Amino acid sequence: MARPNSPDAFNIPPILKPLAPYFRSRQETLHIRQALTSYLRSFIEFDDQSSDHAQSHLSLCASTDGVADVKRIPADLLGLRKDYLKALAANVAARKEFALASENVASLRRQRTSPNRPSDDTDLQEPGTELREYLALLRDRRRHTKLQVFQNYLEEIKTRDAGSLDDVGNDGEQMLMPEVDTEAGRNGTETDLDELVHTLERAVIRARTQLDCQKQLFEKAKAQHDPRAETSDTKAKALQRTRDELVQWVEERLVGQGDPDESLLQELPPEEIEEAQRGLENRKVQITEQYAAYLQARRDLLDAASRACQPVNVTQKPPSRSTNKNELAMAEIPPPNPIDVVSYTNETLIPLYKSQKSLALQKSYLSGLLSKEKATTLRALNRLSDESHLLPEYPTPARQPRATALSSRIQTQTSDQTPDEVVGLAEAWAFASNAAAANGRDFVQRKIALGTEVAQDARQTLADVCKTLNQDLDEVMPEGRKNRKGSDTWASNARSAKGMSRGSGSRIEKQPSGPWSGLNGRVGVVE
């Protein structure tokens, strides 16, 4: 019996069985979430640990107002948990900075509301003192820059001629100083810089006031003018005018550019031009016939659909005497019952449609999976073919020039079957491996035959040397010595038995061996 939390307890479709290890029940999911929450809460410091929302796994998704600080994140923590703790730490730091900035702004506002308050030594220690000093310094710098600009303009006015000075004075009166007298403009060198600054400020304020008035008038006119009140005639005229402009512009562009195909037509001979025109006419006729067939098929389809949607009305007419019995039988067949048709559709056609749809989906899924695996296999085989030395050394006979004629004949006979690339690569690898194995076996057999021949030659040479030295080859060879040990012991036993039987008979002399055995110590000795 399956456990309630096991994947077998769920109604999993067969196509989703590979994903069964990743399915979890609600109890397991809640347990996992609670474990993750408790693990993450061990790195978070809350303002109120006894609050209910801090104990739930949804507290990590809620607002972070209750979070006081985040502990040091361990190095082995990875993934979304590490990102969450980093984001939470950044949020806590940002909220602290925002609270500090809010306190500074509040202190500045309190100082503005009480400017007459005596300045004590404690005011110098307020957090907004440096900011106020910096703002005052910026204002002084800006005022100094304005004064320098005015001073430069005054120097330029001094250096100019009298006529240019009058023009500059008149322009200044019209734009910036409409209420200043012309003589005051001509005698600008005698005016004080403070007066000029005051006049400029008045002109700026006046321009700003006029701009605000113009904005108000524009808003009022815009409110009075409703775009929905435009008539269709006005829109039609505007669209027609726009269309005319576009058509005129396109015609001008076409006339200016000319026809780029005229030069090509002039270069072509008249026979090719006639053939091209004839082909175009045939194509037009073909398109016209296809369109007519399409219209006829569409008309027939609409007629069939309309007849199917209309109720069947059978009008019984008195049968004529000339009708046959078959015609009478066909006329007497009643129309099908709509309820029977609907029940047949629900019981037979719809399940058949669903089964066909599921088969089509399964087929598409399997084809996609097979194509993916085929692509992976092809990629691996191609990589191995690039890195291997077998395929270049042992190519398949189909890729050799001698087998091109035979392969062309086979392809003509089996042209309907498309060759599979995976099968071709597998066959190439199989042929290369078999050829390499056969080549290895041939090489080993050749080496064995060569070694056997060399060993026989060496044994024959050794036998000749032993014969020259008057030695026995079997005694010289190690394996001969081992083989002769048993025979020597048996021979010695036999000799001892014979000696005992014969008594003190003649001793068996052992034949000397060696290169000097032929001398026998009797060279030049006369008996």
Question: What distance lies between CA 101 and its chain's CA centroid?
Answer: 44
Chain centroid to CA 292: 47
Give residues with Cβ within 8 angstroms of 184, minimum separation 6: 191
Closest CA to 419 of 401, 398, 403, 405: 398
Q: Mean pLDDT score of the chain, rounded to an integer? A: 73
CA–CA gap between residue 521 and residue 378 (Å, rounded): 87
Helix (H) or strand (E) holding 44: strand 44-46
Using an 8 Å Cβ cutoff, are 128 and 109 in contact? Answer: no
* Tens digits of residue pLDDT in 356-410: 999 999 999 999 999 999 999 989 888 888 887 778 888 877 655 554 555 555 5
- Name which of 95-99, 202-206, 474-478, 522-526 the model is least confident about: 522-526
Residue type, 249: W
321-342, pLDDT tens digit by residue? 444 545 544 555 666 666 777 7
Quick: pLDDT tens for 127-145: 567 777 878 888 888 888 8
Helix ranges (H only) for 42-128 are 80-113
Structure token digits, residue 497: 């038995």
Do 72 and 52 meet the contact criterion of CB atoms below 8 Å apart? no
Contact between 421 and 379 (Cβ < 8 Å): no
- Give kind and range of the element (H or E) at residue 70: strand 67-70
Residue that has been written with the tokens 């006729």 in this structure: 285
Nearest to 109 by CA among 81, 128, 89: 128
Q: Per DSSP, what are the bridge partners of residue 67?
A: 46
pLDDT over 90 percentage in the chain: 9
The CA-atom distances, in angstroms, between 94 and each of 28, 82, 86, 88 are 36, 18, 12, 10
> Band of the pLDDT at 185, cuts 50, 70, 90?
very low
Question: Is 351 within 8 Å of 391 (Cβ atoms)?
Answer: no
Rounded Cα gap, residues 196 and 177, in angstroms: 9
**Residue from 442, 467, 461 nearest 518 by CA:** 467
Report the distance separating Cα 524 and Cα 527, nearest Å.
10
- Long-range contacts, stretch 295-302, CB < 8 angstroms, 24+ apart: none
Instruction: With a cut of 80, say whether residue 160 has pLDDT above it.
Output: no
Six-digit token string for 426: 């597998």
**For range 312-318, the mean pLDDT:** 51
Mean pLDDT of 47-76: 65
pLDDT of residue 323: 47
Average pLDDT over residues 96-117: 79
Q: Give the integer Cα–Cα distance in Å for 44 and 60.
A: 10
Other C-beta atoms lying within 10 Å of the C-beta of residue 169: 20
From residue 261, how far is each of 251, 258, 266, 270, 281 by CA, in Å? 17, 9, 9, 15, 19
